[in-house]
Structure 1
């Protein structure tokens, strides 16, 4: 099901996490404290919206790492209906695509709940004090898939290349010490696949 990311209260602190990456190492929010910018990206293996921009996200991570960006990707999907989202497939994808950032497994889905994540991809960009700075789309590009339009929303722009323009504008402003660009347009993607009985009120 198509979902739009939620526009949250900017300035809220990043919730802590302690999750295994695809090498089995536990990664925490605190270990990334030196980075002046932290992008937490909720993604998964199967979602066409994620796959559409994945190369762009990988490229952006490589480009902005020397400027101070740390990217952390998290998969919270319950893989019962989508086996490609299980931990073994996460490990394979991270290796095949040579992820330049850790890819974390949120098996309990507690971290997705803490971040108010709703879709894949869902992006949360934090400043050096780990206050929420940007929670919007990567760019306006969307994959060509057979889905009905969201009520009250314009058609998905499937004719545009993946550029990361919105995220780049936010990163450039953050790293320059400027206010976040406005408006922040929501990301669009597949709904997070919740465990039975785990789905939150906003899912």
Structure 2
């Protein structure tokens, strides 16, 4: 299990636009469709990564807790499905159903969206404010598979709370860590 850190896109970056197919509904979904009034969380995940499997329950809890406060959520899978068929749209559908994802799960077949966000790993998290400016990027929390720390979403929850209360974000944002995105050759 490779451990790759996120690249930490520059704070203040405007959210790159996208239009992708939702593997669950088979409908076209854009950034505009998932944008929240208070802010938007863009997550790069996949089906097979042990780091993502480890945080799936907390992702669902966190989204359910914060979407009612005006945040939008979306997950994107950008992995090469030719070499990683367990990340195919059909498997994305199964994973979303199994975990009761309350957010769209989009397939980035060309990998252009992952490149636009400078995504490096799964999971990789980006929080944009109501103006779609990046205010947080990094880890969900300190939990990793096998380290004995329970998932609680602390880092991302603190960032969401800071947006809600109009407080400045922490300066010491820690990169996310997980499996590398499986790039096409």
TM range (shorter): over 0.9
Q: Which residue of 2 aligns with 1:130?
A: 132
Alignment gaps of 5+ in structure 1: 145-157, 197-203
Asked whether the 8 Å contact 2:34–2:74 carries over to 1, the reply is no
SS of residue in 2 equivalent to 1:90: helix
Stretch deviating more after TM superposition (104-113 or 2-11): 2-11
Q: Which has the larger radius of gyration?
A: 1
Q: Which residue of 1 aligns with 2:149?
A: 160
Q: Structure 1 residue 83: deviation in Å?
A: 1.5
Q: Structure 1 residue 34: deviation in Å?
A: 4.6
CA distance in 2, matches of 1:33, 1:49: 26
- Structure 1 stretches of at least 4 aligned residues deviating more than 6 Å after TM superposition: none
Q: Structure 1 residue 161: deviation in Å?
A: 0.4
CA distance in 2, matches of 1:80, 1:28: 25
The question of 1:173 aligning with 2:174 is answered: no
Please report the RMSD computed on the Cα atoms of aligned residues, expressed in angstroms: 1.0
Q: Which residue of 2 aligns with 1:88?
A: 90
2:144 pairs, out of 142, 145, 150, with 142
Q: Which residue of 1 aligns with 2:22?
A: 21
Q: Which residue of 2 aligns with 1:191?
A: 180
Q: Which residue of 2 aligns with 1:120?
A: 122
Asked whether the 8 Å contact 2:35–2:71 carries over to 1, the reply is no
Q: Structure 1 residue 31: deviation in Å?
A: 2.1
CA distance in 1, matches of 2:167, 2:13: 18
Q: What is the aligned length?
A: 183
CA distance in 1, matches of 2:99, 2:33: 24
CA distance in 2, matches of 1:34, 1:62: 13
CA distance in 2, matches of 1:97, 1:49: 15
Alignment gaps of 5+ in structure 2: none
2:46 pairs, out of 44, 47, 59, with 44
TM-score (norm 1): 0.88
TM-score (norm 2): 0.96
Distance 1:33 1:60, change over 3 A: closer
